Amino acid sequence: MSDAMSGTAQIGVTGLAVMGRNLARNLARHGHTVAVHNRTGARTKALVEEFGKEGDFVPAGTPREFVAALERPRRLVVMVKAGEATDAVVGEFAPLLEPGDIVVDGGNAHFSDTRRREEALRERGVHFVGAGVSGGEEGALHGPSIMPGGSDEAYAALGPLLEDIAAKAHDGAPCTAHIGPDGAGHFVKMVHNGIEYADMQLIAEAYDMLRAVAGYAPARAAEVFRTWNTGRLDSYLVGITAEVLAHTDAATGRPFVDAVADAAEQKGTGRWTVQTALDLGVPVSGIAEAVFARSLSGHTGLREAATGLPGPHRPPLGERDAAHFADQVEQALYASKITSYAQGWNMMRAASEEYGWNIDLGTVAAVWRGGCIIRAAFLDRVRAAYDADPALPTLLADAEFAGETGAAQEAWRAVVATAVRYGVPVPGLSAALASYDALRADRLPAALTQAQRDYFGAHAYRRTDRPGVYHTLWGQDRSEVRTDG
Ligand code: 2AM
Instruction: Single out the residue in 182, 208, 238 at which a domain terminates.
Output: 182
**CB of 154 closer than 8 Å to CB of 127:** yes
259 lies in the same domain as 386: yes
In a domain, 153, yes or no: yes
234 lies in the same domain as 296: yes
Task: State yes or no: pLDDT of 6 exceeds 70.
Answer: no
Intra-chain end-to-end CA distance of the chain, in Å = 77
Quote the pLDDT of residue 205: 98
Any binding-site annotation on 15? yes
176 lies in the same domain as 194: no
Number of structural domains found in the chain:
3
343 lies in the same domain as 464: no
Q: How far is the CA of 124 from the centre of ligand 1 (A)?
A: 25
320 lies in the same domain as 427: yes
Give 9's DSSP letter.
B
In a domain, 4, yes or no: no
Query: Which whole number is the average pLDDT over 154-183?
Result: 98
pLDDT in tens, 57-94: 999 999 999 999 999 999 999 999 999 999 999 999 99
Q: How far is the CA of 264 from the centre of ligand 1 (A)?
A: 28
Looking at this protein, which amino acid is placed at residue 346?
N
289 lies in the same domain as 153: no
Looking at this protein, which amino acid is placed at residue 420?
V
Give CA–CA dist 24/28, Å, rounded.
6
52 lies in the same domain as 163: yes
Query: Which ligand 1 atom minimizes the distance to the CA of 20?
Result: 10
172 lies in the same domain as 302: no
In a domain, 379, yes or no: yes
Query: Which ligand 1 atom minimizes the distance to the CA of 14?
Result: 10
Confidence of residue 4 (pLDDT cuts 50, 70, 90): very low
Instruction: Single out the residue in 122, 153, 182 at which a domain terminates.
Output: 182
Task: State yes or no: pLDDT of 3 exceeds 60.
Answer: no
Q: How big is the CA angle at 435 (ends 338 and 293), to the nearest 5 degrees?
A: 85
pLDDT in tens, 450-465: 999 999 999 999 999 9
In a domain, 1, yes or no: no
Query: Which ligand 1 atom minimizes the distance to the CA of 17?
Result: 10
- The residues lining ligand 1, judged by C-beta closer than 6 Å to any ligand atom, are 15-17, 38-40, 43, 80-81, 85, 88-89
92 lies in the same domain as 134: yes
120 lies in the same domain as 171: yes
Query: Which whole number is the average pLDDT over 10-14?
Result: 98
Query: What is the DSSP track for 140-200?
Result: HHH--EEEEES-HHHHHHHHHHHHHHS-B-TTS-BSB---BSTTHHHHHHHHHHHHHHHHH
Any binding-site annotation on 453? yes
Kindly report the protein residue whose alpha carbon is nearest to atom 12 of ligand 1: 39
Q: How far is the CA of 48 from the centre of ligand 1 (A)?
A: 18
Query: Which ligand 1 atom minimizes the distance to the CA of 43?
Result: 2
Task: State yes or no: pLDDT of 1 exceeds 50.
Answer: no
Any binding-site annotation on 464? no
Q: How far is the CA of 6 from the centre of ligand 1 (A)?
A: 25
Any binding-site annotation on 471? no
412 lies in the same domain as 473: no
In a domain, 5, yes or no: no
199 lies in the same domain as 311: yes
Domain that holds residue 216: 190-440
In a domain, 390, yes or no: yes
pLDDT in tens, 210-268: 999 999 999 999 999 999 999 999 999 999 999 999 999 999 999 999 999 999 988 88
Longest dimension (CA), the chain: 89
pLDDT in tens, 32-65: 999 999 999 999 999 999 999 999 999 999 999 9
Kindly report the protein residue whose alpha carbon is nearest to atom 10 of ligand 1: 15
In a domain, 457, yes or no: yes
* Catalytic positions: 189, 196
Any binding-site annotation on 294? yes
Quote the pLDDT of residue 267: 81
Instruction: Single out the residue in 164, 182, 200 at which a domain terminates.
Output: 182
Percent of the chain with pLDDT over 70: 99
Cβ partners under 8 Å of residue 9, min gap 6: 2, 32, 33, 34, 35, 58, 69, 70, 71
Task: State yes or no: pLDDT of 2 exceeds 80.
Answer: no
The CATH number assigned to the domain holding 41 equals 3.40.50.720
In a domain, 6, yes or no: no
Q: pTM, whole model, 2 decimals?
A: 0.96
The CATH number assigned to the domain holding 462 equals 1.20.5.320
Query: For a substitution probing ligand 1, which of 14, 39, 45 has the most ligand atoms within 8 Å of its CB?
Result: 39
Q: How far is the CA of 86 from the centre of ligand 1 (A)?
A: 9
Kindly report the protein residue whose alpha carbon is nearest to atom 19 of ligand 1: 85
